[in-house]
Homo-oligomer: A and B are copies of this chain.
Amino acid sequence: MKSESGTASLGRFDFACGDEIESLEVAYEAYGEFNGDNAVLLCHALTGSQNVAGYTDEETDGQARAWWNDIVGPGKAIDTTEYYVVCANVPGSCYGTTGPASTDPEGEVYATDFPPVTVQDWTRAQRQVLDTLGVGRLHAVAGGSVGGMNALDWARQYPDDAECIIAVAAAPRLDAQSLALDAIARRAITTDPNWNDGDYYDAETTPTDGLAIARQIGHVMYLSKSSMQQKFARRAAGRDARRDSFPVDPAAAFFPYRDVESYLDYQAEKFVDRFDPNSYLYLTRAMDDYDLAEGYEDDARAIAAFEGETLLISFTGDWHFTTEQSEALAEAFRSVSTPVAHHVIESDHGHDAFLVEPDKVGPPLRDFLADGINGRAVHDTADSNADNDSGFAPVHASLFSQ
């Protein structure tokens, strides 16, 4: 697969908050060849990176690398022999794009002097990266989770720039429960004394405990209740090796160190090695802040100027971004006669399904990119509602089954 990895120097960048930085660098990767009308922009999730695919023989390292390797590549659902696929690391992140861990023109680490970022900033930075690559109008913008919010933002901010939008496991805005859990996760970081008001880049110790707890909260949000039960139940861990990941008191030794703890501790350990704590604060706030209807009366009016087609994919086991949220959004598209298909996938994998169910996600993506909402594998709740009065409701039984 032909691929290109680079950094676009965008110069001065004005953030939506009113602040600016002198020089925004955006790391991106591109796969395939541009032929003028085959560009697909992919938007990564919260802790993802620009590296969408290509590391076939290596561990994917939890979204840091090759997060859609099963979906994107030659002959895959997003076929890089057909499409020119671009993904850019968002401003505020830590995979090569300027963020809190970067240095300012004077050589000082920004830390928490970095301007607050929003999803709107991400979209605008992506637009500018595409300009440097000579890409004007896109065939599609696609993304999962907050990357799906980012894709939806394209329909609002640049309604003429994409033929179609794909938002997987996304929502027009977070609900109160998700806002609460994100806020608690941030508290875990900022109460870690090693956070030190965000100034830890030259310190010997960094707020790894706080970031680990934040990640563990997130991890539970991304899994479904029943998939956790099936995967871990109440089993003790095979090895106690990771039991000392966090401080414990002597009384803890009487109780098993459970498989589910060992898993979360292992995942957190990997995560703190790859992610910047300040970036976690910045990016979760961008996600929390995102509201498709902001500045408009409602979601329908926010996307009314977009005349392309939209595919929404949701997962029945996702309690973070629910099927109901995607359905409400589909209704908003329908109400302004914007062609939309809301494709519901039965999956017990929770929010993570958009990463780990390529066999179910791939076909509707492939067929939508080729034929829009009339694509063969693309299903729409509006059709199933016509067949069946109960619509997609029954799918939720799986959420709480044991």
Q: Give chain A's interface residues, CB within 8 Å of chain B.
A: 17, 112-116, 173-177, 179-181, 183-184, 187-188, 190-193, 195, 197-198, 209-210, 212-213, 216-217, 220, 223, 225, 228-229, 231-234, 246-252, 254-255, 258, 260-261, 264, 278, 281-282, 285, 288-289, 291, 319, 322-325, 328, 393, 396-397, 399-402
Contact = CB atoms under 8 A, between A and B. Distances in A.
A335 to B, nearest CB: 16
Nearest to A184: B216
9 contacts: A177-B225, A181-B220, A183-B260, A184-B264, A187-B212, A190-B246, A251-B285, A252-B285, A396-B400
Contacts of A229: 175-177
Enumerate the 8 nearest inter-chain pairs by beta-carbon distance, A residue then B residue, closest first.
A112-B249, A116-B254, A176-B228, A191-B209, A116-B251, A176-B232, A190-B247, A187-B246
A394 to B, nearest CB: 9
Contact of A228 (B175, B192, B234, B278): B175
Chain A interface main SS type = helix
Identical chains in the assembly: 2
Contacts of A193: 193
Contacts of A116: 251-252, 254-255
Contacts of A247: 190-191, 195, 197
A400 B289 CA distance: 21
A195 B264 CA distance: 22
B180 A264 contact: yes
A17 B254 contact: yes
Nearest to A246: B187
A188 B153 CA distance: 35
A280 to B, nearest CB: 12
Residue from A175, A223, A325 whose CB has the most chain B CB atoms within 10 Å: A175
Contacts of A223: 177
A396 B190 CA distance: 36
B177 A251 contact: no
Nearest to A328: B402
B402 A399 contact: no
Residue from A188, A319, A402 whose CB has the most chain B CB atoms within 10 Å: A188
Contacts of A190: 246-249
A62 to B, nearest CB: 17
A209 B187 CA distance: 9
Given A176-B231, A264-B184, A400-B322, A113 B250 contact: yes
Contacts of A197: 247, 249
Residue from A231, A233, A249, A397 whose CB has the most chain B CB atoms within 10 Å: A249
Given A399-B396, A402-B175, A282 B251 contact: yes
